């Protein structure tokens, strides 16, 4: 005799259904969406540190620059009809949206059934990480380019200030980039340069390699370089988080593995760097700068090639106006369902965004470098 269930199917609790709807998975997608956004937001720092604009109904966004004008004493009887040179001069900067940036994974339904952990949640976080990493790398390369550029406003007698490059240390060794006293001196030099170029003191930040950051905070409670740090009352995890807790010369300091650093991203080991590899770092730590020139498929802005960015850059100091990011599609989630899921017995989980970055006001960008000569403009 066959076993008969005493439970009416209509009485079964369906936690994935929305208001008892027919789709038993309707609410599951929100878990994935939230996890993806969490992974993106927790791992990108550039999004809140530069100018961000939403792009609609177009392929690029125009930013207008106005230069300075002059003043003069009025001669009695003369009419006042404006500056004879037509000042202030005006120039533009256009940022184009790159092609669609995606990160995806296919989740086989049987694997989910057999898995003892939340497979989708884990994958969604990694998708968010991947998008955030690329976002920051493009933004920081744009700032690096701006630090080496002249101002778009370059009319005769009205030339606006351009970017700044500051040497860290006095030797030819890459290890100068890790010396706290060298970094402190460079920060004060950068702050003075930004002041001299008329850059607002509000929103000034720096992004360093993690080892540089930790070199600085080791002296926070004592003497030496620590004597120059502001907010020295911060201790413990707050101080060590790298989320802009400490300041030097009014510049809040962040750490990131996504800045161009000695020809790689994040960390460079061996040679004259003075840093010993901790071993077993994996292939995602300190990768060489990829070729991201305008000729690269999907790239419509100039982020420079690995050769152009060079092997001597070792930190960025900038103000919010240094670079801009246009977003045609912000971080979004797409997941297959219905007939597609039935055919393939699984779902494609996709995180996507469409954005593009470039420098805006070069005067607001400072590149730190080591070696005898500053890296060339590109």
Give the pLDDT confidence of 232-268 residue by residue, as tens digits.
445 555 555 555 567 888 999 999 999 999 999 878 8
With b meaning 16 or more CB within 10 Å and e meaning fewer, what string describes 342-364?
eeeebbebbbbbbbbbbbbbbbb
Q: Is residue 161 part of a domain?
A: yes
Distance CA 248, CA 229 (A): 5
At 272 the pLDDT is: 80
At 119 the pLDDT is: 77
Q: Is residue 287 part of a domain?
A: yes
Q: Is residue 16 part of a domain?
A: no
| Domain total in the chain | 1
At 77 the pLDDT is: 86
Residue 257 domain boundaries: 28-66+89-369
At 7 the pLDDT is: 53
Q: Is residue 78 part of a domain?
A: no
Q: Is residue 101 part of a domain?
A: yes
| Secondary structure (H, E, C), 72-127 | CCCCCCCCCCCCCCCCCCEEEEEEECCCCEEEEEEEEHHHHHHCCCCHHHHHHHHH
At 57 the pLDDT is: 85
Q: Which two tokens stand for residue 305?
A: 């090639």
Beta carbons within 10 angstroms of residue 87's beta carbon: 16
For the stretch 40-90, pLDDT in tens is 777 789 999 999 999 888 899 888 878 777 777 888 988 887 777 777 888
At 33 the pLDDT is: 64
Angle formed at CA 304 by CA 47 and CA 183, multiple of 5 degrees? 65
88 prior amide bond cis, ω within 30:
yes
At 3 the pLDDT is: 52
Q: What is the CATH number of the domain that holds 194?
A: 3.90.1690
At 107 the pLDDT is: 85
Q: Is residue 252 part of a domain?
A: yes
Q: Is residue 79 part of a domain?
A: no
Q: Is residue 17 part of a domain?
A: no
At 177 the pLDDT is: 94
Distance CA 17, CA 239 (A): 44
Q: Give me the residues of the chain with pLDDT under 70, please.
A: 1-18, 20, 22-37, 115-117, 219-245, 291-296
């Amino acid at each position: 005799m066959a076993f008969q269930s005493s439970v009416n199917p209509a009485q079964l609790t369906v936690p994935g259904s929305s208001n008892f709807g027919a789709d038993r998975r309707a609410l599951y997608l929100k878990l994935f969406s939230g996890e993806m956004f969490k992974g993106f937001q927790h791992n990108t720092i550039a999004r809140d540190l530069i100018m961000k604009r939403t792009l609609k109904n177009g392929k690029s966004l125009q930013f207008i620059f106005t230069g300075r004008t002059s003043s003069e004493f009025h001669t009695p009887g003369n009419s006042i009809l404006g500056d004879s040179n037509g000042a202030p001069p005006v120039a533009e900067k256009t940022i184009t949206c790159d092609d669609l940036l995606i990160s995806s994974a296919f989740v086989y339904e049987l694997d989910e059934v057999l898995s003892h952990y939340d497979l989708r949640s884990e994958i969604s976080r990694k998708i968010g990480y991947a998008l955030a990493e690329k976002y920051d790398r493009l933004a920081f390369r744009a700032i690096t380019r701006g630090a080496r550029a002249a101002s778009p406003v370059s009319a005769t007698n009205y030339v606006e200030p351009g970017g700044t490059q500051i040497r860290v240390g006095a030797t030819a060794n890459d290890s100068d980039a890790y010396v706290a006293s060298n970094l402190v001196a460079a920060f004060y030099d950068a702050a003075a340069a930004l002041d001299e170029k008329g850059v607002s003191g509000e929103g000034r930040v720096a992004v360093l390699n993690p080892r540089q950051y930790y070199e600085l905070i080791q002296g926070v409670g004592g003497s030496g370089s620590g004597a120059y740090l502001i907010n020295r009352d911060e201790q413990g995890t707050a101080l060590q988080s790298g989320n802009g807790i400490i300041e030097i010369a009014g510049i809040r300091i962040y750490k990131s593995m996504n800045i161009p650093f000695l020809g790689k991203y994040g960390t460079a080991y061996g040679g004259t760097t003075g840093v010993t590899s901790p071993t077993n770092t994996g292939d995602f730590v300190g990768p060489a700068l990829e070729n991201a020139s305008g000729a690269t498929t999907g790239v419509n802005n100039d982020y420079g090639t690995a050769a152009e960015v060079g092997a001597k850059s070792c930190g960025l100091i900038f103000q919010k106006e240094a670079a801009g990011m246009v977003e045609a599609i912000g971080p979004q989630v797409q997941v297959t369902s219905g007939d597609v899921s039935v055919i393939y017995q699984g779902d494609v989980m996709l995180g996507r965004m469409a954005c593009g970055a470039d420098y805006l006001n070069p005067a607001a960008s400072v590149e730190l470098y080591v070696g005898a000569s500053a890296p060339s403009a590109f």
